[in-house]
Amino acid sequence: MNLVRSSRFAACPGPVITIVLDGVGISPREEGDAVKTARTPTLDALRAEFPTTRLRAHGTAVGMPSDDDMGNSEVGHNAFGAGRVFAQGAKLVSEAIASGSLWQGAAWREVTAAAKGGHTLHFIGLFSDGNVHSHLDHLKAMLVQAKAEGVARVRLHILLDGRDVGETSALDYVDPFEAFLAELRNASFDVAIASGGGRMQITMDRYEADWSMVVRGWAIHVRGEGRQFASARAAIETYRSEARVIDQDLPGFVVARDGKPIGQIVDGDAVVLFNFRGDRAIEISRAFVDESFDKFDRGPRPQVTYAGMMQYDGDTRMPPRFLVVPPAIDRTLGEYLAKSGVTQYAISETQKYGHVTYFWNGNRSGKFDEATETYVEIPSDVVPFEQRPWMKCAEITDTLIAAVRSGRYRYLRVNYANGDMVGHTGNFEAAVTAMQALDLQLARLLPVIRAARGTVMITADHGNADEMYELDKKGNVKRDAQGHTKAKTSHTLNPVPFVLVSGEADPGFRLRQDLAAPGLSNVAATVLNLLGFEAPADYDPSLIEPA
């Protein structure tokens, strides 16, 4: 796996750095674009002075089923690190269902066998068609199949979205799904929604940023402990009138009959987590299957047959039972550099730390080489992002500047989470503030890199802050009867920027103009060329050529 020195590209004299401005896309419109609205003199000057292009960051360019599917941070960082496009979770699950291979797999047979032994089959997951963490079509197919195979009792534990879909769209999913369940339900098939809550309140924590979310989810889903309602609709309507928050922040609820929860998870039951994306699925999976678990008191842990839609972490085999084999991403940029002795540095705050490590390395935990790799996590604040939209960008920059000045690292990568995490709140003014905070940090960082004769690629993994208002099918901003705009909290289908900044007056390379539709996967080969290596033959083409 050693890299071959290039005869076409001389290695850049200083460090090579990839800066990922998470969630910062390029919108064709002005209204609702926090990126354009923000005062960003540093970014503006860089785009005016240095070579720039646009990269595709959604759909088939990042392994999603179609170009109607938005990208996300996970598939985006997979593409950055892999240098090639791999079919991602959404597509793999859809194909497994269509071919019938999911039903033939050992994991599906085991969970249905457990449920058919007089127990309940439970499904937990993100309840939307955002196609980022999950898709309701997958859940529907599994319910239909479970009924056909003779499973008698099913309970659903729904995590309300409002992040990858409309911020207050929960009932747009719950009501039709209740009708779907009513059609499935009969004397021999008892199926119902048993619990739920907003995805940023219960269950779906990631990177151990806030285990209290998982604690609340465990109490709601497993123990049936929480505020009781007659239905999911009743819970959503009540919480909206009381708390006045968007779907992702709705508190947890338990559906009950005569004061008793209808769907506690007990010994002998089977549980399927139907999310296909890994980051927000690992912690709840650990709570179910980890024998040495010590993050919170689970109480009497029910002995269940547990399966993930996919294996969310191949290194720790979490969970050991899974329905669909995840993409086998091999020979990543990080692995090639490690095997060639190139020193690497990766940094972000907690919210995106796994993206510059785990996802960048092809869904692999840990390092390829302890001696040459340094990973730094800046702990994120546990506060609503709109209340502190600068997040940890200054602390990240402090640490990154020190790393550049140390001269120890040839390749460095950083993720600034602000555009994505603040963009997901739907708060336009906060997103503008987030962009301005990022620009201030770039103004501090770039002179240090250029003084070190470094080369910088400034890009993004997908759009978000560039489109903060909902659009209709014609691309116009949606407004209510009073003319108010409706906030958008999901990612966009927009391309992302790529700006190539060199500290050298004559760097010896230039951006290629012959690539028809470059995407995020073209960045890895570019990094290798800047470091003086040829990219592997099957990597997507570099964005640069000799000058």
Residue 5 pLDDT: 97
pLDDT of residue 481: 74
What's the pLDDT at 56? 98
- Identify which has the larger pLDDT, 292 or 335: 335
Confidence of residue 62 (pLDDT cuts 50, 70, 90): very high
Q: Where are the alpha helices (DSSP H) in 155-281?
A: 170-184, 211-218, 232-243
Domain borders along the chain are: 4-87+330-479+487-540, 90-324
Q: How confident is the model at residue 258 (pLDDT cuts 50, 70, 90)?
A: very high
Mean pLDDT of 136-144: 98
Contacts of 463 (CB under 8 A, 6+ apart): 23, 24, 25, 26, 27, 57, 58, 70, 71, 491, 492, 493, 494, 495, 496
Give mean pLDDT, residues 404-417. 98
Q: How confident is the model at residue 315 (pLDDT cuts 50, 70, 90)?
A: low
Enumerate residues 6+ apart whose C-beta is below 8 A from 360: 77, 78, 80, 81, 332, 333, 334, 346, 413
Q: What is the CATH number of domain 90-324?
A: 3.40.1450.10
Annotated catalytic residue 406: no
Task: Compute CA 411 distance to the chain's CA centroid, rounded to the nearest angstrom.
Answer: 24
Question: How does residue 477 score in pLDDT terms, banded at 50, 70 and 90?
Answer: confident
Is 413's pLDDT higher than 90? yes
Q: Give pLDDT, residue 2.
A: 85
Please determine, for residue 312, whether its predicted confidence score (pLDDT) is greater than 90.
no
What is the predicted pLDDT for the residue at 365? 85
Kindly give the residue spans of alpha helices, DSSP state H, lying in 116-247.
Answer: 136-148, 170-184, 211-218, 232-243
pLDDT of residue 286: 96
87-134 per-position pLDDT tens digit: 888 889 999 999 999 999 999 999 999 999 899 999 999 999 999 899
Mean pLDDT over each residue of the chain, to the nearest integer: 95
pLDDT band (50, 70, 90) for residue 476: confident
- Strands, E assignment, 379-508: 411-416, 455-459, 496-502
Residue-wise DSSP of 340-380: TT--EEEEEEHHHHHIIIIITTTS--S-S-TTTEEEEEEPP
Cα Rg for the chain, rounded, in angstroms? 24
Work out the pLDDT band at 329, boundaries 50, 70, 90: very high
Model confidence at 483: pLDDT above 90: no
Amino acid identity at 402: A
Predicted TM-score (pTM) of the model is 0.78
Query: Domain 4-87+330-479+487-540 - what CATH class?
Result: alpha beta
Report the pLDDT value the prediction gives residue 69, as an integer from 0 to 100. 83
* Residue of 27, 73, 348, 521 marked catalytic: 73
For residue 279, what pLDDT band results from cuts at 50, 70 and 90?
A: confident
Question: Would you say residue 459 has pLDDT above 80?
Answer: yes
The sign one gets for the Cα dihedral 93, 97, 98, 104 is positive
- DSSP letter (8 states) at residue 3: P
Q: Please answer whether residues 509 and 545 qualify as being in contact, where contact means their C-beta atoms are separated by less than 8 angstroms.
A: yes
Query: Does pLDDT of 405 surpass 80?
Result: yes
Which residues partner with 122 through β-bridges? 155, 271
Tell me the pLDDT tens digit for each residue of 12-56. 999 999 999 999 999 999 999 999 999 999 999 999 999 999 999
Q: Of all residues in the chain, what percent carry a pLDDT higher than 70?
A: 100
